[in-house]
Chains A and B, each alone.
Chain A
Amino acid sequence: MTPEGSRDKGQELMMKVQRGDESAFESLVEIYRQSIIQTAFRYIGDASLAEDLAQEVFLRVYRARATYKPLAAFKTWVFRILYNLVVNEAHARKKRAAWSLESLRGKERSEFFISDERAITPVEAMEEKELHRKVRETVFNLPENQRMALVLNKYEDLSYQQIAKVMDLSVEAVKSMLFRARENVRNRLVGYLKVEASHEV
């Protein structure tokens, strides 16, 4: 168990939730909503569903308050809940193929909330749009486990050990998964790469 003095913000708030402090729960929602929604979105590609899933994650966090123990970083625990939820959702939707790329094609940039807006030329805009599309396609085409491991590692900076806890795998299995994920990404994006001519040491 994480010693009291070294607990992260989420763990501290969760201990308060455990003691009946409902305002602490609202604080958890405010602090962690960005991470959870982003991760859910990058995994499933649907903005509206990502928010629905994130909301369900928070309700499950609250329901688990009685048995919560600060054994791992709060983020790791919350992502574990998200992972279980999206895996179940993915299995349910696989039969309906509701997460096919066709559901994303034709969606304009405005349909996604872009975090950093800047002034760009029409050519750049077109290239950027094409690149965004290609990157989304690359990530969504990864096998589910590779996709989740990559999203957690790349966008949430989770270590191999933390990802292993989220996905209930060994660290070696996570490394193997990330190795294959990055190979797949390289193969798909090789045409878009500006590779450095000389090796940086």
Chain B
Amino acid sequence: MRCEEVKKKRLEFLDNLLAEAERAAVDEHLLSCAHCRQEVSELRASWKVLDDFPGLSPSGDFVERTMASFREMRKKERKALALRRGVIAAAAGVLLVLSVVFFNSLGEGDLQHSPALADEEVIENLDLVEDLEFLEEFADDLDMVMEYEFYVALSDEEAL
């Protein structure tokens, strides 16, 4: 294994994550390469030194303070939910009222509609109505004329 290849595998080598065969190959290279050996040793040692990064124990009242913030947050959530529900209920109520008003207005129109339309029909079709009246009168006269012609015809035949 060459130095460049060892460098690529160095991280996993240091973390003991290489497969057995690869680890053996890196070990073999390190035995004969002082430069890589020095680098790996320094990396290992510096990683160990990081253990000296002081930790931080949580303050004694951290849980208490966090739960107080949590309860405050829950209170606000519940208020917001109640407000949302109130708005939806109010909106539903307004919609209901509007629907009743709308459908009521539709019903009143229907009752008045036929007579008004009937009047309109008479006005639009006034000519026809007048013709109809004439025809009704004419029909009566027509009967009389037809009877007269019949009798005229009858008398002509008798004359012959």
Q: B57 to chain A: which residues have CB within 8 Å?
A: 34, 113, 115
On whether the beta carbons of A182 and B43 are closer than 8 Å, the reply is yes
A-B contact list, 15 entries, CB within 8 Å: A26-B63, A29-B62, A29-B63, A42-B53, A59-B69, A62-B73, A112-B56, A114-B55, A132-B53, A132-B54, A136-B53, A138-B50, A182-B47, A195-B45, A201-B31
List B33-59 residues whose CB lies under 8 Å from chain A: 37-47, 49-50, 52-59
Q: A185 to chain B: which residues have CB within 8 Å?
A: 46-47, 50
Q: Check if A16 is an interface residue, CB within 8 A of chain B.
A: no
Q: Check if A4 is an interface residue, CB within 8 A of chain B.
A: no
Q: A30 to chain B: which residues have CB within 8 Å?
A: 63
Binding site for A on B (CB under 8 A): 10-12, 14, 27, 30-31, 37-47, 49-50, 52-59, 62-63, 65-67, 69-70, 73-74
A-side interface size class = 35 or more
On whether the beta carbons of B55 and A51 are closer than 8 Å, the reply is no
Q: B43 to chain A: which residues have CB within 8 Å?
A: 182-183, 186
List A152-201 residues whose CB lies under 8 Å from chain B: 154-155, 175, 178-179, 182-183, 185-186, 189-190, 192-196, 199, 201
Closest to A178 in B: B11
On whether the beta carbons of B41 and A33 are closer than 8 Å, the reply is no
On whether the beta carbons of A55 and B66 are closer than 8 Å, the reply is yes
Q: How far is the CB of A197 from chain B (nearest CB, A)?
A: 9
Q: How far is the CB of A26 from chain B (nearest CB, A)?
A: 6
Q: Check if A47 is an interface residue, CB within 8 A of chain B.
A: yes
What's the dominant secondary structure at chain B's contact region? Answer: helix
Q: Check if A139 is an interface residue, CB within 8 A of chain B.
A: yes
Q: A112 to chain B: which residues have CB within 8 Å?
A: 54, 56
Name B10's contact: one of A42, A179, A199 (CB within 8 Å). A179
- How many inter-chain residue pairs (CB < 8 Å) link A and B? 122
What's the dominant secondary structure at chain A's contact region? Answer: helix
Q: A175 to chain B: which residues have CB within 8 Å?
A: 11-12
Q: A79 to chain B: which residues have CB within 8 Å?
A: none
Binding site for B on A (CB under 8 A): 22, 25-26, 29-30, 33-34, 37-38, 41-42, 47, 50-51, 54-55, 58-59, 62-63, 109, 112-116, 128, 131-132, 135-136, 138-139, 150, 154-155, 175, 178-179, 182-183, 185-186, 189-190, 192-196, 199, 201
Known: A62-B70, A136-B53, A139-B50. A190 touches B37 (CB 8 A): no
Q: B70 to chain A: which residues have CB within 8 Å?
A: 22, 25, 58-59, 62
Give the docked Cα–Cα distance between A113 and B41 (Å): 31
Give the docked Cα–Cα distance between A192 and B10 (Å): 21
Give the docked Cα–Cα distance between A22 and B57 (Å): 25
Closest to A55 in B: B66
Q: How far is the CB of A195 from chain B (nearest CB, A)?
A: 5
Q: Which one of B31, B43, B49 has the highest number of Cβ atoms from chain A below 10 Å of its Cβ?
A: B49
